[in-house]
Structure 1
Amino acid sequence: MWNYQKCNNNTFIQRLKRKKEDALEYVIEQYLSLVKGVVLKTLPYQKNYGLVEECINDVFLAVWNNADQFVGNEGDFQRWIAVIAKYKATDQLRRLIRNREDCADPLPTQLQESISTLEEEEEFLNYVSILKETDRNIFIMKYLLGFKNNEIAERLNLTTQAVENRLYRGKGKIGKNFLKEFNTI
């Protein structure tokens, strides 16, 4: 357990921006399970846990190096670090795919499925980009990070009904936009 004499829930963001090591230790202690979950969900093929650990370390290094760019509160920080984890894991998976394509060996089925998933996620992010930030965050938490509606509501300080309504309306907006794009082809 780390010694957080100066760092706590209210001060860790500012201390992290000032490059205080106790803040990084606090972030690792508080968010390791979230980061690990996102990375393992994105890199399901990994038999080599060393690559997963490397990716997790890259996430915390990116948080440390880019803390001064973060703007928001603790809830925003949680979403920010989850997105960083998702992108770092995606980058790691792409590197694996590139290295694998350089070899004559065919890609394993699970890795091929991961490639398809990445392409679908990129398309998904393109579709939700038309939504307002809160709605976009709800869609990302629900469909990319696998949160339940009540978990999303708790983390965003909304009611579960509000989350469900925003998902319903967001699906409608995305559907209308898709049809508009389809009709212009």
Structure 2
Amino acid sequence: MNRLQNGDKDALRLLYRKYNRILFSMIASILKNREEAEDCLQEVFTQLWEKAEQFDASRGKVYSFLVTMARNKAIDRTRSRAYKNSKKEDHTISDFTLTPESNKNNPYEDLEMEERASVVRKALQKLSDKEQKVLQVAYFQGLSQSQIASKLDIPLGTVKYRMRQGMIKLRENLIPDELR
């Protein structure tokens, strides 16, 4: 990120290679449209290039920063009028794979992504079923807390509490003791 903040285009290329597949999968799971997901991913990396100085290593890791950017960008897109109008077309994500074309058949990236997914799955399994459900709906369906409350038929305060507790527990499960 230091290199990127100093205008190094190769640093952006490296970040893209490392994170584009996982970000694309998350964005696609929210948008349910491959073309929209590809556009959104491009916007995320464009925003990263333009606003790299906003990253503060003392506040978190690059991965968390990118996931937050991508998730917010995807949710913004779902809420936009253009997205709602284009959703009428029938190009759903089920017609496609969840990986961008440019990175297929890279076994090293596949292995890295599988390992990360496994670590996150194990951390999620340590949460209560209620915490898991709220986080899954938030991150994979892109719903706001009030929408989650409505969808799951639970009070908004309960949603907020479960999300906060779940995120605290996830952080505890994902950050090694020596880094806390």
TM-score when normalising by structure 2: 0.52
1:158, distance to aligned residue in structure 2 (A)? 4.0
- The equivalent position to 1:39 in structure 2, one of 23, 27, 35, is 27
Partner of residue 143, structure 2: 117
**Does the C-alpha gap of structure 1 residues 29 and 116 become closer, same or farther in structure 2, counting only changes over 3 Å?**
closer
Larger radius of gyration: 1
Distance 1:136 1:15 in 2: 33
**Does the C-alpha gap of structure 1 residues 100 and 83 become closer, same or farther in structure 2, counting only changes over 3 Å?**
same
Letter of the structure 2 residue corresponding to residue 117 of structure 1 = L
The higher relative CO (CA closer than 8 Å, separation ≥ 6) is in 2
Deviates more, 1:24-33 or 1:88-97: 88-97
**1:22 aligned onto 2:7:** no
**1:127 aligned onto 2:157:** no
1:153, distance to aligned residue in structure 2 (A)? 2.9
Partner of residue 99, structure 2: none
Distance 2:13 2:74 in 1: 21
**Does the C-alpha gap of structure 1 residues 54 and 100 become closer, same or farther in structure 2, counting only changes over 3 Å?**
closer
Distance 1:93 1:14 in 2: 32
Structure 1 stretches (4+) deviating beyond 6 angstroms?
113-116
CA-to-aligned-CA distance 1:105-128 (integer Å, 9 cap, x gap): 9xxxxxxx998934228x68x826
CA RMSD of aligned residues (A): 4.2
TM-score when normalising by structure 1: 0.51
Distance 1:137 1:39 in 2: 20
**1:62 aligned onto 2:47:** yes
Partner of residue 85, structure 2: 99
**Structure 1: gaps of 5 or more residues:** 1-12, 106-112, 143-148, 163-185
Distance 2:84 2:168 in 1: 32
**Structure 2: gaps of 5 or more residues:** 90-136, 150-155
Partner of residue 165, structure 1: none
Partner of residue 6, structure 1: none
1:99, distance to aligned residue in structure 2 (A)? 2.9
1:66, distance to aligned residue in structure 2 (A)? 1.3
1:73, distance to aligned residue in structure 2 (A)? 6.4
**1:157 aligned onto 2:176:** yes
Letter of the structure 1 residue corresponding to residue 176 of structure 2 = N
